[in-house]
Amino acid sequence: MANNQKLPRVVIVGGGFGGLNAARALKRTPVEIVLIDRANHHLFQPLLYQVATSVLPPTEIATPIRNLLRRQQNATVLMGEVTSVNADRQLLSVSGFDQPVAYDYLVLATGAQGSYFGHDEWEQYAPGLKTARDALVIRNQILKAFELAEVETDPERRKELLTFVIVGGGPTGVEMAGALSEMAHATLADEFRRINPRSARILLLDAAPRLLMPYPENLSQKVKAKLEKLGVEVRPGHAVELVDAEGVIVNGERIRSRCVIWAAGVSASPAGKWLGAETDRAGRVKVLPDLTVPNHPEIFVVGDTAFIIEEDGKPLPGVAQVAIQSGKYAARVIRQRVQHEAPLPPFKYFDKGNMATVTRGYAIVDSKFMRTAGFIGKLGWAFLHILYLSAFQNRIIVFFRWTWEIISNQRGARVIYETRPPEKNG
């Protein structure tokens, strides 16, 4: 694609929170926007665990990017995977495209991926939770474990099938553990005849000394107590040494399990390698205060891909609000330059606080305005998550699904979909 347009071309790579908000913020700016993503949808990642535990189908937290930008005439959406960036020539290479894509401004919002701390071979045994496909793989694994346990006659093998190991004590691990426990103790409790789903063993492991390290210790302890009340075995200070087809080894102990879920650690996308830029240990690009790459004022890096230092010297966390605010800020800087306005002050993150949910009626909130645990926290969590869903129809559907689940204890997304065709006989 030749860059022969009169309007400056802004290429945005990634249709997540950062990329989508950057594109929307440029709606009334005289630029041509090209948004490229390897998937055709925007995914609301904070609710992926609910797909994995059969609360929601993936269609209710994923919306086609074309649909979200359909009324934005200056935006074009292209499905493709960026493979490299030539920063000197201002060109992108995209798999499947005949010609490189040229840009005047580039916004890299490529997100993060799971990190296995140098043990990538563990991924085949312990899937992470970053995409809709990941969530469906985990959902199938969980549901199949109960189904296989129902027909298993060997007590030890049945025990392995009903042992679920979650690695990582951050919000994703805590939410997975709570939702899986509710699933076993409520949703599935009376649906099996040969097994008791309540006997499922759920372990939450983390190398850190406690759960939810960024949160105040008192909230962390409340979450631990709530999970233990649900029957979850919480083991902080337990580092995983091996993950294989038989389960995990942690602190020298073999825990046999057919279902291990990875919720520990993330690494940035390859954006830093594309640019040859300086990165932190997780691969995040070290950006300047205006979120640009050193020596390349036309390239912005936002969200989980960026290593952004706050005034107190601490890096910003990889959460949705950082991606949203940094994407909008990058768009404002581009607008300022295109329209020859006064320069903007450096990016400043407005911390709206952190939330984590444990059960249908229990969540914690840690913010400047409120610090609480319990049902009030859950109401705040539910309100904000519905509010930030990208499509209006999804907000309505999710609200009614959650209401129905609270009333009935039932989860409607418990169909096992095979990811490959069955083998033919004969």
| Residue ranges of domains in the chain | 9-115+266-338, 120-264, 354-408
**Rounded-to-integer distance, Cα 292 and Cα 206, Å:** 35
**Rounded-to-integer distance, Cα 23 and Cα 29, Å:** 10
CATH number of 9-115+266-338: 3.50.50.60
**Rounded-to-integer distance, Cα 160 and Cα 4, Å:** 61
DSSP of 341-398: -PPPPPP------EEEEEETTEEEEESSS-EEEEHHHHHHHHHHHHHT-SSHHHHHHH
Residue 140 buriedness (CB in 10 A; 0-12 / 13-18 / 19+): middle
DSSP run (H or E) holding 112: strand 112-114
**Tokens encoding 263:** 């919720």
Residue type, 247: G
Reading the chain (426 residues) residue by residue, the pLDDT tens digits are: 445 558 999 999 999 999 999 999 999 999 999 999 999 999 999 999 999 999 999 999 999 999 999 999 999 999 999 999 999 999 999 998 999 999 999 999 999 888 898 899 999 999 999 999 999 999 999 999 999 999 999 999 999 999 999 999 999 999 999 999 999 999 999 999 999 999 999 999 999 999 999 899 999 999 999 999 999 999 999 999 999 999 999 999 999 999 999 999 888 889 999 999 999 988 999 999 999 999 999 999 999 999 999 867 789 988 999 999 999 999 999 999 999 999 999 999 998 889 999 999 999 999 888 899 999 999 999 988 888 888 888 888 888 888 888 777 777 778 887 756 555 544
- Total-model pTM: 0.90
Identical topology for domains 9-115+266-338 and 120-264: yes
Q: How many residues does the chain have?
A: 426
Cβ neighbors of 43 (< 8 A, separation 6 or more) are 16, 61, 62, 131, 132
Inter-residue contact 289 to 347 (CB < 8 Å): yes
Closest CA to 141 of 272, 247, 45, 53: 53
Residues with a catalytic annotation lie at 175
CATH 2.60.410.10: does it fit domain 120-264?
A: no
